[in-house]
Amino acid sequence: MLAFLEPYYAGSHKYFADGFKKCFGEQIQLFTLEGRHWKWRMHGSAVTFAGMIEKSGGKFDTVLTASLADTALLKSLILPEMPKTRFVTYFHENQLAYPWSENDKEPCRTDMHYAFINFTSALASDLVLFNSEFNKKSFFSALETFLRLFPDNRLTHKIDEIYKKSEVLYPGINTIPKSNGKKDNTLKILWNHRWEYDKDPPTFFETMFRLKEAGINFHLVVLGEEKSTSPEIFKVAREKLKDEIISFGYAENYDEYKKLVAICDILPVTSKHEFFGISVLEAASAGVIPILPKRLSYPEIFPQDKFAGLFYEDGKLFDFIENFTKNPDFSLCDKVSERVAFFDWDHFRQKAEKLLFS
């Protein structure tokens, strides 16, 4: 029996937890906390989860904890009651490589708490899982420099110990059927990311503004939830692109979301960070062509030797889309949707079974 602890049950974390549970059913008991207050989750969720496990009365062979929790603290609290339990940490992201928001005024980077919790969580785990090779590499690339910031006893000798017990386990993807409707000749452009700074919406919308100014005809589907902290550019875009917009905001339900994604042609990606890219792969499964920067996790997900036509140089997104409108290559639709089959839940289940249940 495996206990899966998700301290931030929202967005891609919820997506993964629900899919994982669906794959393995009664072999997994899912414990969750609401997807908010991520800093407090990293400090306090381990204590809460220890109480939840004790109250459940369950005895677990494996405890799998998402990385927005303190695995080392959790282990210290529950190991006496379950001395043979294996502890695993799953990194959706890592705080060593996560871009910091300019609007976050708390001195969290100065005291380095959150990156250090990631380090001790990995150190205390019997197995460390990353959602992509890019995530894994970014963690280990930054770790020695990070540890050398401390005054003495810098613990760099522990890096190899963590590396030897680390693996990549891609999350599964819910595929979206391709649209059966006849598409018109107007290019339909998609945004289906979170409305947050790390997805770099200013670059995306400024590109849309340039397309409009250049007289390029297009329609726009903007999906996602508006929050009080969402960047101001979304309000500006809603007004400046009102004649191009098909849909703007949160879909009524998942079926409506899939329908809106499937009618689109391209998905220009401007993210400052991406450790995997669930929303990109979902859209690609429906034959929407992702237009990608040559960085982050994207060259891993879509290898450039086979998908060179998807990638643009930084600063050249407008030029790429303009050229695509003149010389569209929709043969890429089938290629990208076929690639996504490698990331379906069946592939996830096969590897997860070997790593977690063998």
Residue 110's pLDDT band (cuts 50, 70, 90): very low
Name the residue range of residue 338's domain: 187-342
Query: Is 35 within the bounds of a domain?
Result: yes
Query: Is 181 within the bounds of a domain?
Result: no
Query: Is 358 within the bounds of a domain?
Result: no
Lowest-confidence region among 102-111, 282-291, 303-312: 102-111
Query: Is 109 within the bounds of a domain?
Result: yes
What is the chain's mean pLDDT, rounded?
93
Examine the fold and report which residue of 124, 143, 169 is the final residue of a domain before the chain moves on.
169
Claim to verify: residue 157 and residue 37 sit in the same structural domain:
yes
Question: Once rounded to an integer, what is the mean pLDDT over residues 38-47?
Answer: 96
Query: Is 133 within the bounds of a domain?
Result: yes
pLDDT computed for residue 98 by the predictor: 76
Examine the fold and report which residue of 138, 169, 200 is the final residue of a domain before the chain moves on.
169
Residue 20's CATH number: 3.40.50
Residue 260's CATH number: 3.40.50.2000
Claim to verify: residue 280 and residue 194 sit in the same structural domain:
yes
Q: pLDDT tens for residues 158-214?
A: 999 999 999 999 999 999 998 876 567 899 999 999 999 899 999 999 999 999 999
Query: Is 175 within the bounds of a domain?
Result: no
Residue 133's pLDDT band (cuts 50, 70, 90): very high
Lowest-confidence region among 3-7, 227-231, 250-254, 256-260: 227-231
Q: pLDDT tens for residues 262-303?
A: 999 999 999 988 999 999 999 999 999 999 999 999 999 999
pLDDT computed for residue 112 by the predictor: 83
Question: Once rounded to an integer, what is the mean pLDDT over residues 78-96?
Answer: 94
Task: Give the C-alpha separation, 121 to 166, whole Å.
Answer: 12
Claim to verify: residue 101 and residue 206 sit in the same structural domain:
no
Query: Is 240 within the bounds of a domain?
Result: yes
Contact 35, 9 (CB under 8 A): yes
Q: What is the 3-state secondary structure (H, E, C) of the chain?
A: CEEEEEEEECHHHHHHHHHHHHHHHHHEEEEEEECCCHHHHHHHHHHHHHHHHHHHCCCCCEEEEECCCCHHHHHHHHCCCCCCCEEEEEECCCCCCCCCCCCCCCCHHHHCHHHHHHHHHHHHCCEEEECCHHHHHHHHHHHHHHHCCCCCCCCHHHHHHHHHCEEECCCCECCCCCCCCCCCCCEEEEECCCCCHHHCHHHHHHHHHHHHHCCCCEEEEEECCCCCCCCCHHHHHHHHCCCCEEEEECCCCHHHHHHHHHCCCEEECCCCCCCCCHHHHHHHHCCCEEEEECCCCHHHHCCHHHHHHHEECCCCHHHHHHHHHHCCCCCHHHHHHHHHHHHEHHHHHHHHHHHHCC
pLDDT computed for residue 348 by the predictor: 97
Query: Is 354 within the bounds of a domain?
Result: no
Q: Distance between terminal CA atoms of the chain?
A: 12
Claim to verify: residue 117 and residue 152 sit in the same structural domain:
yes
Claim to verify: residue 255 and residue 150 sit in the same structural domain:
no
- The count of structural domains within the chain is 2
pLDDT computed for residue 181 by the predictor: 61
Claim to verify: residue 198 and residue 162 sit in the same structural domain:
no
Claim to verify: residue 92 and residue 215 sit in the same structural domain:
no
